[in-house]
Amino acid sequence: MKKIVTIQDISCFGKCSLTVALPIISAMGIETAVIPTAVLSTHTGGFTNYTFHDLSDDITDIANHWKSLNLHFDAIYTGYLGSASQIKIVSDFFDRFKTSDNFIVVDPVLGDHGKLYAGFTDKFVANMRKLCAKADYIMPNMTEACLLLGLPYTENYNKNFVKETLEKLSKLGCHIPILTGVRFDEKYEGAAAYDPEKDEYFFSFDKHVNRRLHGTGDIFASVFTGAITLNKSVQESLDIAVKFIADCIEATIPCADEMWYGSCFEVCLGKLIDYTKQQ
Ligand code: PXL
């Protein structure tokens, strides 16, 4: 059975990070090991007075135990990390668990809609840039891409800008950068990727549903990582992740009062299982 280890926080309430990654990757038929980086009472988007318990000290202890058990993972996938120093600890984990037959996915969770998430600093961004250099796949949204590249945030862009941004992201040192939340018009939204070795671009779009929901980046990253782990191509993995995100956002429209918690991805998991089998 394929095995992924995912390293990100537990937000006890609000749908994101581990409470999204675990059910999604499991539904795709992949064993999901976890390293929780912090425990928060809620995610930081829209809530105030949330608790934050840092688990940085546990990461190395867990890694030491796993080394003694000779554990091997097909993919190492990171999401929200709690502090600049924690990113360094995760980087050491990569050095110890990367092998010639597995790969690393870094979702450089930094911000959205042109803004850094609460509590993140320039040092955090600089360390995340270094972590991206060790990754096979990174999947920033436009806000995160601009932060990683030190560019001003823009919502007005065209296909050429997306291609140039992907090329610049690949120069951070990762193999394949993926840009999420790409939109050239009102109707369609999706993602784009670039393989610098083949000089090949990939695009995938589905209907744009005009709702801002928390945690969709985490859903995208989890589905993409699952699909690539199942040996699907970059194009197939983008297609599955983009289609599933559109399903999740659409399924959340009837739950307007709960929207700020995250998307109602749970009712779409059956579709994800079908997509995983079909392609
Ligand atoms: O969805 C990314 C994410 C994950 N975990 C926590 C967050 C966020 C985004 O705000 O606050 C705790």
Label each residue of the chain as H, E or C. Answer: CCEEEEEEEEEEECCCCHHHHHHHHHHCCCEEEEEEEEEEEECCCCCCCCCEEECHHHHHHHHHHHHHCCCCCCEEEECCCCCHHHHHHHHHHHHHHCCCCCEEEECCCCEECCEECCCCCHHHHHHHHHHHHCCCEECCEHHHHHHHHCCCCCCCCCHHHHHHHHHHHHCCCCCEEEEEEECCCCCEEEEEEEECCCCEEEEEEEECCCCCCCCHHHHHHHHHHHHHHCCCCHHHHHHHHHHHHHHHHHHHHHHHHHHHHCCCHHHHHHHHHHHHHHC
Q: Rounded to the nearest whole angstrom, what is the distance from the C-alpha of residue 45 to the centroid of ligand 1?
A: 7
Closest ligand 1 atom to the C-alpha of 38? 12
pLDDT recorded at residue 8: 98
For the chain, how far is it from start to end, CA to CA, in angstroms?
A: 19
The closest-lying atom of ligand 1 relative to the alpha carbon of residue 217 is 1
Looking at residue 259, what is its pLDDT?
Answer: 72
Residue appearing with tokens 């030190």: 150
Is any atom of ligand 1 closer than 6 Å to the C-beta of 40? yes
CA dist 137 and 43 (Å) reads 24
> Could you tell me if the CB of 9 is within 6 A of ligand 1?
yes
| Alpha carbon of 43 to ligand 1 centroid (Å) | 5
Cβ of 117 less than 6 Å from ligand 1: yes
- With the most atoms of ligand 1 within 8 angstroms of its CB, the residue from 80, 106, 116, 263 to mutate is 80
Q: Which of 117, 222, 261 to mutate to test the pocket of ligand 1 (most atoms within 8 A of CB)?
A: 117
- pLDDT of 52 reads 96
pTM beyond 0.75, yes or no: yes
**C-beta of 20 in contact with ligand 1 (< 6 A):** no
Q: Is 11 in the pocket of ligand 1 (CB under 6 A)?
A: yes
Write phi, then psi, for 274 (nearest 5 degrees).
Answer: -65, -45
pLDDT along the chain (279 residues), means of 10: 98 96 98 98 90 97 98 98 97 98 98 92 97 98 98 95 98 97 95 98 94 91 98 98 96 82 94 92
Q: Packing angle between helix 269-278 and helix 216-229, nearest 10 degrees?
A: 30
Q: Report CA(270)–ligand 1 centroid distance (Å).
A: 25
Q: What are the backbone dihedrals phi and psi of residue 158, each rounded to the nearest 5 degrees, phi first?
A: -125, -175
Phi, psi of 188 (to 5 degrees): -125, 145
Which residue out of 43, 50, 180 has the highest number of ligand 1 atoms within 8 Å of its CB and is therefore the one to mutate? Answer: 43
Per-residue model confidence (pLDDT) at position 260: 73
52 lines ligand 1 (CB under 6 A): no
